[in-house]
Structure 1
């Protein structure tokens, strides 16, 4: 069964996603990242520049080929790239087909709106019988 983990109180989503995707990539996993369209370009750029030691190959869905990219960014629609192992969800809904991924990582900011939306997703996953992990990023010092 797909593992589902919520990362709560993420203060700055783009830098957090860069670090998270570095860990996913280091584990040899591929990822689909769903995030608001307003943050897509910022994450795309940050993945090229956030570290001088790391290179995180990635593609933006709908902008060229994603067939071999280990990290695919989209503003919601599923990319034309089968076999992505980790779904990183920063949007309010649960995408169709989430269960095809080994892991789902729900990224939740500190705003009341994001927390309320996350509670709905938490309830839905629970009703479907998934065991959920909770990580409070604020308690970990923003890591």
Structure 2
């Protein structure tokens, strides 16, 4: 399994929206996990208003529209099962999701806060010791 770490992220919300947009435009299915439902509501609003010319269609995992959406937002595991298209898990939590292995790829977002950096390093080491294919991207802004 491929796991991408994006670190030194100044604005997690904007950065997440850009990653989701990229996956959405390439017809990939994305599940976004954050255990705080309030944070998911903020992301939900941002995806509907990403720019004046566009929005990214998405649904909460518990929504009746979830089975038709290529972008799902969830604050709880177990994760909903998606189609056989490329499946990506965008992990916005500070821990390793229990079901991350169900996905073809996982993206970890690590902000500039000390807590997030330490939690990210711990997850990175854990994945590395488990033999996962790791890639690291340093955000520039």
1:45 aligns with 2:52: no
Q: Which has the higher strand share?
A: 2
| Contact preservation (8 Å) 2:5, 2:107 | yes
Counterparts of 1:39 and 1:96, CA distance in 2: 20
Where does residue 3 of structure 1 map in the other structure?
2
Deviation of 1:76 (Å)? 3.5
Where does residue 135 of structure 2 map in the other structure?
133
Deviation of 1:15 (Å)? 1.2
Deviation of 1:33 (Å)? 0.5
Give a deviation string over 1:60-81, Cα, whole Å, max 9, x none.
1234441121001112423333
TM normalised by structure 2 equals 0.89
Unaligned stretches of 5+ in structure 2?
none
Unaligned stretches of 5+ in structure 1?
none
TM normalised by structure 1 equals 0.88
Q: Over the residues paired in the alignment, what is the CA RMSD in angstroms?
A: 1.6
Where does residue 26 of structure 1 map in the other structure?
25
Deviation of 1:113 (Å)? 0.3
Counterparts of 1:71 and 1:22, CA distance in 2: 10
Where does residue 79 of structure 2 map in the other structure?
79
| Contact preservation (8 Å) 2:50, 2:56 | no
Does the C-alpha gap of structure 1 residues 76 and 12 become closer, same or farther in structure 2, counting only changes over 3 Å? Answer: farther
2:41 partner SS: helix
1:79 partner SS: coil
Q: Could you list the structure 1 runs, at least 4 aligned residues long, displaced by more than 6 angstroms after superposition.
A: none
